[in-house]
Structure 1
């Protein structure tokens, strides 16, 4: 009777767990023989209105496992990284690969998979020096916070979409990144005139919290109500610290919806102060917009927005992607409300 070794049984177990985790995100690809320092590939899929679609992106994974006897749960939770000794020859191979290989580490004590782009890690840690590194092995540190979860697979798919769109459009990578983040919003602004709506940016500049809130909204162009009525939010954006509106949305030309002439008075020091309690911001085009102060909690600004020349360029890109069937927009008759949050703890590479 043949006995399966403890290490082989452990590897068989975590590979089965990985395939169960990854199955909903793609189609597996395997080498007939393990000769390329890669264990398994995943041809990424994405959900569309027509059902699940196989993308053009194939992501490769090198699998490693760490047993409880080597790393306890307490150690895992207290350390920032999981350290592995890896072959320098393999590191060179991954550094030179045309397609990046992602290292996936299974931590048995925590029943947790971690993931890291090996090619980026090697480039950042050694760069070209890895090609002449005079040693057999080197330590690779995987962040304990880099969990292989649904968000990680979504980020991998985002990278794949951006690369594909950039190639299809013959566009700058930065343009494709912005389209990926805001294609629904760019399309809404690009079709605003034909839909007889106006676009507004509703900015809550918090004074009592460490964040700002930006809501992009639309309302009928002939709306006759007050400035702050009638808006339907189509994008909500929270950002830690401050936000620069015209840098965050470079495809918008922002303008004052109404003329504002501030009532001021001269204080005892000869300085001009607002008679109303609030703040005035000056847009790049010179327009001034007043935001009333809400009990020193926040100031609230309502600003008009339309696509500028760069926005028209991105809108044309979005229309091309729609024609190619490479992007799905939200159904205009359904809830189109989107949400993004930008904070240090939300920033991750994978």
Structure 2
């Protein structure tokens, strides 16, 4: 197949040595038209004694191992084991269950407030998906691996955006103007139907400019960024804000700061949680505060999970955040109660 090759060995030498030799050979730069081209390969290995001798079965097993090598970041090697089959079957079952859950309205949006860390006033909320199960709510980290890179992820994105805008309309009818942020996958943004669908959605649920924010993961690849940049610019023309989410987790962080048209930078919670123990993290946050100030962007920190972290963020000049020290995610109905309590607390502190 394209960019895929099979090597068969009688294992006259240790297999791990053979794999290492293959990887070393593939890492050697190639000269092409005066340029040096660097390559890397992912390798999936199956040994005949743990699988059927049937060629098709061996190919399937090596394919599973190759998938695991690529998922681990690429340029790596993984050996097949029977647990991979079990995991694949579990993922297929979970994907089918999720498709039914989406059709049967078993999903629910929770909202985590973002506040001004100085005056405690609410500046918006982030929509977070939960799956209602018989044994409680399932967080997205448990089912996303089963649906990412499938059409189910796009279906979920549109459901979340529609539901978040519906809730916003209800809140506005109650006299509450609450900006809402929605996480969006690159595959949804890249799809040819994205712009007409988002326009239709906004027309169906009209909200003030800037009250819908799309959060684009910083881990979006360079190629994906090039494909979606004009769509993000169009969204801003529609009155939609753009946030660069989980900043600092991907290899293209600094490139995206220049390339993508965004209004807000969200610092990943892994930097914030270790703020008091890792001076390097504080240096990064300080630099991003300066960058946001000089470029006219907003900066929001995730992971404000203790009062000492909250206090330190204020000391270094960060004024907007979200995290469990502020509030855990709450249901759409529970958000109104939380807001009422927050407004009462802020009023008492001001008195």
Task: With the length of structure 1 as denominator, give the TM-score of the two structures.
Answer: 0.25
TM-score of the superposition, structure 2-length normalised?
A: 0.25
Considering only CA atoms, is the larger Rg found in Structure 1 or Structure 2? 1
More helix by share: 2
